[in-house]
A and B are shown apart, each in its own frame.
Chain A
Amino acid sequence: MFGTYLRRELANRRRQTIIIAVGMALAIALVIVVNAVAAGVQNAQATALKSIYGVGTDITITEPVTAASAGGQQFQFGSGAGRTSGGTRTIGGSRLRTDFGTQTFAATTVAKAAATPGVKAATGVLSLSNTTFSGQLPGGATGGFGRSGATPRPTGGPDGAGGSAFGITRVSVLGYDVGGATIGPLTAATLTKGRSLTAADAGKDVAVLDSDYATSAKKSVGSTVSIGGKTFSVVGIVKSTSATGSSASNLYIPLDTAQNLAGDKGDVSSVYVEAASADQIGTVKTALQQTLGSTMTVNTQADLASTVSGSLSTTASLASSLGLWLSVLVLAAAFLIAVLFTVSGVNRRTREFGTLKAIGWSNRRIVGQVAGESFVQGLIGGAIGVVIGIVAIVIVNMAHPVLTASAAAAGRPAGTAAGGFGGGSGFGGGGLGRAFNQVASSASSIVLSLPITPAVFGIAVGLAVLGGLIAGAFGGWRASRLRPAEALRSVA
């Protein structure tokens, strides 16, 4: 009886059923899409972080930058520096130093981290920047101002009229443990040419290049590169496992070589930690913080996700703020529509329910009938919503939206920055440092892929059921309050 009556009522009140189902379907579809976008963004953030911190890194340890070490790069030249030719003086220089915004600390931290309970592996890296400066300025700009009343017309320089031109190239260099570390930035890259660095390369001037950098710098296996004034042999080329991004650094060299070259002997700039179990990450973070003290910054991948910026970050914000509230709003509207239509339906069926009560139907049976009808309407809406949601996800995935992701965190990502400026000489310090900092984080492009997960559909069906039950509860409550005598009297 229940099923027959329910089926006939829904079929008879087709318009109401369609309106409730469509309202519910749109809300459910929106929830599915917003959830999928949130999950997709989360995956993209993980991909962005993976390209920087490598596969398997659960926690990173860094030390906050102190004011004393936060100063910018500075090139100083003596009065006789460079060589002068035809009234133009050419000067240049190369410096290898710790990456901007990065603080080094004792490599013993790696051992302390590795010995912390719950830690499976730990490895240290030294993130460096190799900055090359070259420029031209007027060679004869020495005194003479105001001597005879008339100012001499400036000459020399690259434009022959006393101007200057400077070029700056920055290459990121990462010193890493070549003794077989199982985690770290290179775990997110694959070897495409040559060989990887091995324990036998410790202390040697050998380098592995990122394929993007190798292409732009026209380098290959067997070439040489200059790092901090020393010549390194290129033994291998690696490529990021990310479809569109570069790997963590332009160049990879043995850690001890990097330490010696940068004058940071016995120091690292980041420690990468892998927890023994994914569900212990929080505990391990706490243990590490206790072991290493409050001066060290211990971040999990979840903490680092907030450092990802760019359109990926914007999408994440949209998904979590606008998407969430839009979902809640549409869901509330759908529930409200379902409740109003159900209560209105009960009011129209006063005579029907009064009659059923008169022939012996209990309140419970009538409430069950009304709730059952709403429940099925919700389920129909949920089913349509799931279909719309899947179609929307498939359309988004087919469109391959590309988001940019930048991360500026410990173990600062790589990038090659080239700058040039003209004008008078006299520069250095903070201004240039800031300019570097602005370009120091690398932007990688990540294709947003929305996952279709059973959990999302579970939530969607749950919401549809909830919507149906809420509407049914209101409708049932209204029906249960109908007193048979009054219901029949109102008909009369």
Chain B
Amino acid sequence: MKQKLLQINALTKTFPGVKALDDVDFTLKQGEIRALIGENGAGKSTMIKILAGIYQKDSGEIIFQGKKVDIDEPAKAKKLGLAFIHQDVNLIPYFNAIENIWLGFNYPREGFKFNKKQMEAEVKELTDKLSFEFDLHRPVSQLSTANKWLVAILKAFMMDAKLLVLDEPTAALTDKEVKELFINLKRIKQLGIGIIYISHRLEEIFEIADSITVLKNGQKVADRKIDEVDKETLIKLMTGKKALTRFPKREDTNKSEKNILAVKNLSGNDYQNICFNLKENEILGFFGLVGAGRTELMESIFGLREIRTGQIKLANTEIEIKNPGQMVQSGIVLIPEDRRDAGLVLNMGVDENISLPNLNLMTKSSFLKNIDKSKQRKEAAQIVEKLNVKTPSLTQPVKYLSGGNQQKVVIGKWLFRDTSVFIFDEPTVGIDVGARSEVYALINNLVADAGVIVVSSDLMEVMGICDRIAVMSNGQLTGIVDKKDFSEDKILQLAYKEVE
């Protein structure tokens, strides 16, 4: 029988107006991977922040390694051996792995110099113990996201962590990288380390976790062994809805055979010789491994990157792509993958973000280009209502919204004007199940009078919502699969197909 590592009893935390955690119990044994799941706002991050010493609990007790502890500041959590590894892995990009791992510890010295040999030796000892394999001497900016996670984990081990908290580790990973990470996590757990695993991706929880705790509205609604539950049950527990169809059904109205976008022999720096058509009322998926060139291709079509050769026709008229502004005018928009980085001006309000690309349609005088603020408010309010964006006010800076609501604002920006082609790059990364199905429903609505391209690394997602799937590998289009021929094997084969 494995020993209890962490026990939380009756944890409660109230914020003004909200009970973020209400009498929550939680246990974690040594060598156990426990998934912590729930919708945005369920209380996961509040609980983690209390463990990390960032928030103070109102009541309840935390018992760690058999002793009652009081974590009143982050340094205390570190001292106890609790390590928190976050989505945006915090590493210094131009330091290599060894330097990053040692950061925060006293570098060993040899006379007037750092003792680099000893630094490397100690890190090597750790990597051997965990059987991690990657280049320790490269700047971490050149490592894959998966390897950055390994560096962060090593850093945790360096401080002798007994408990790891991983927050959405797979959000930016390809399926292959996820598999590697999981192999590594299983090794870690054999060393008796306990892991709290937070993720929105239910499929992988069944692969990696031993047990699951589900939170909803600040309360614990379930504590199960992994083999006692299935996905449907979990979704039901999280959302409270009976049976939530993951991919909402699309009303097949008019299926046009009209080509709205035709790309011919397009080549750029990261992709070669791409040909495809997009029909009106069609959702075309773009699947591939990270680095296959999908994002680069889409950014070129949107005017953000250089195109070397090739031809693009929009509604049978050839267009020359100059810049995003011109593409927006002609009716092509791109909803970027990283919404905080490329989709939103975080300090600006919901209304200002929504109106940002549309200001030229909201001016009072074409000479002064002065903004009609009442129109801006009205249009923003309509979009907020239509997309069910949860925000206290229209002027609320978007940085205070949850991931799902931020994504709705990014999409909402583009609903104001006439658009014939919507390109979504990873539309559901990092947002919860409920918001996800809302995004899918929205895409389904859009396709009623436009063409939609969805770039995604989530195979289930493209298979669930697309009419056809284009697969890319290493900068080339390796195939386009029709809905009737969809199969995981077939698509993965195309994605892994070796091209020169």
Instruction: Tell me if chain B binds chain A.
Output: no
A residues at B contact (CB < 8 Å)? none
B residues at A contact (CB < 8 Å)? none
